[in-house]
Structure 1
């Protein structure tokens, strides 16, 4: 189970989070609840949780200070900020502290569920990655005969901290790992269900193809898999110039890539490591190969990278996002914004610098957050900001950035449309958005729109054909019916509160008046029908 720590100085919210939320649905359990940042810090030290939910404003140590502490000492802990303060300074600090998400109070239940679903999915992916590494290590431990591939796998998984023990084993077994180069391959799309089912067989086939290709071109390869990546370690023979070996490795790597594509119908990216001259340098060669592979994979580029691991640059010119894009977004013009963003995407692709892409996207998200704040739009792209470097491909990053731009344009467009909506339509829309507030009444709406009660009453009847109380009651009952159908686990009292009734008994009376059945009778009819 994923461990969760909650830190908030509001007892009612803590009680709601601990008693009303089905944490097991996300494979989570609450291991501690703190009333302030200092208590939260001690709970984090004690439990090392997978998820920390913390308020911003708290005595002793605030939530942003706590998240900064967690980032430094427990980087694996995922932080969710809870705050009633929709201010850009808080969000900007949260971005720097790499929190996973930022939720506004009062909490919207559906948004909270969506966020927890994303958090749970992220934890599952991380666990799967760790599991693959554990499997690789376990296979190595269970091996009764230590081979060259076993030594190298252990070195690449654990780093140079294993060198003292490996030196002894290499000497005892007589292995020669003096000089060579590392090449790493990875599939572009390894998520095919059929391929996943046959992963061991598929990996065996890839290893055979690459081994035969490198060996046929007079290289001396050691080939094995670490997770989803196939590693080829080429040993150089003495007496041949390093430059000639590098040329031979480049030729073999290119042909190996073509053979995997031809025989297995699979596109791959690859990265070259630096030439190592001793066992102490092999891990460094592997790291540079992985970095080069990540660059190739990011662009889904099938061209062969240069031997120093970089992708040939097509353009190396100054570039900045035009202010016109932000003006278009502020106008709510979705089509023009998509077209302008497509132009930015094309230019970034031509430039081909991954870190530059991150820089430009970060700048854009900061601008978008300011626009969102101006238009009172909830900041729902914080995970994109903090998780930017987790995007394996340029395409997926720009796709999500495009969704963010589209969402913001639609929001602004709807707000502008609301501004020119007729007064009766605005009143109806206001009620539809605030019906769940138990304090909404004709008087509060009259104050909101600066109207007299009598004038508002006449406008409302002409617009809806019903008086205010009838309209709100019918609306609440219809929403209650939807909740019963979509979220059957909610109690009648929970549903009553969600649609604007503090008194569950009164809710039942109103429900029966408009439906002819009590809530329990209505639920029974639905269950029998199902």
Structure 2
């Protein structure tokens, strides 16, 4: 089905085109109409259009100007112009803008089918050509990816050790990495019986992890390598040498991957992160550091371990941040914040005594913050306000000038999470917790009060009253607030378009999404997007 836009300032002509052309027989549908070129420009930004049928003479912006705009901004859209006999002088100009046909307005409905079929044929040809080119490009990229993967595996496994050969291969493969980390993902099934996990499920999960890495680091040069069936390596390169900032990015992405692993249930992930390295010959060193970090996290439950050069990466003992991070989280789970704060003070005191390098201390503090935020995810706690502050916490840790300010930041975080744990554990009934969990897991779908009530097997009116009584807001507000919180994160990426974000949070109508977003934020999605770019 092809989408048509009709542009004409004469309502009679628009109505005639709409009702006297058998669009269904042409495998087409009219998705919108406009009264002039300016109106058409606005609607093109929110409608998917294949063919534009436009009058040539209109106030504001005429058909030729509109054709030029479409040619420059939407080259895949085909334009058909409606014209009078005297307008053929415009034909030469229109040809420059790839207008595919002219139709005389005296009796346009007879000629429209031929023009539409011509446009459809061109669209089909271009799609076939694009698909062939994409297929060729995919095959070439796949082959290059396989060659790069083999090169990295050979370096990691000690098969290629000569520095000059490594440099030569990197140049040949056009691999450019600097200020890089090696991150290892040890992926295993919950069951010891590997036969219980089908190869299809395992490959699907590995593919999901690779895709998430590609999306998370799309703005950074990065490479993924399947070292073996259960071990995935990522080489991630950064433009600057701000180690705490880069570590923050890695930790947040690793937490996303761990959360995804939770949803699969039958898989767990242990993650080891190397130090930042600068020169290419250090690749084997970075790989070994990531392995040591992974070994150091042996007793961690589905957590991240960072290689620390001045501490033992192998054992969980006082002095190692993972040991203290685990103690802090355990204390919070047991609703014992004073013990959690004591563990924090013990670690920082040891750092003071040993004069630990400041970069190591900051990385340790970010690791502890990461564990605390993982606790929220593990408990499935409904706290978008606290979760949104995670990047801010990491930035404050980075900019700290002394160990006292680091202690204050983590102390405040531990106390805040302790309150959330206690509040969420005690405040809401089982039905409310189940409702909030369903919203978190399904906000990107078409959900409503009724679908939630059906899921947890209660009467919808009763659930509505109970939710309002316990939380002070309606379920519709809860759904919309969660969607808008998520939408705000997506809109911060300039590559994400408003209508794409709307679909990603479960609102298919862009106009309704704009209405809801404005209601809860006080500004439109475009205004919010612009405010984050400037």
Normalising by structure 1, what TM-score? 0.29
Identify which of structures 1 and 2 has the higher relative contact order when contacts are C-alpha pairs closer than 8 Å and 6+ apart.
1
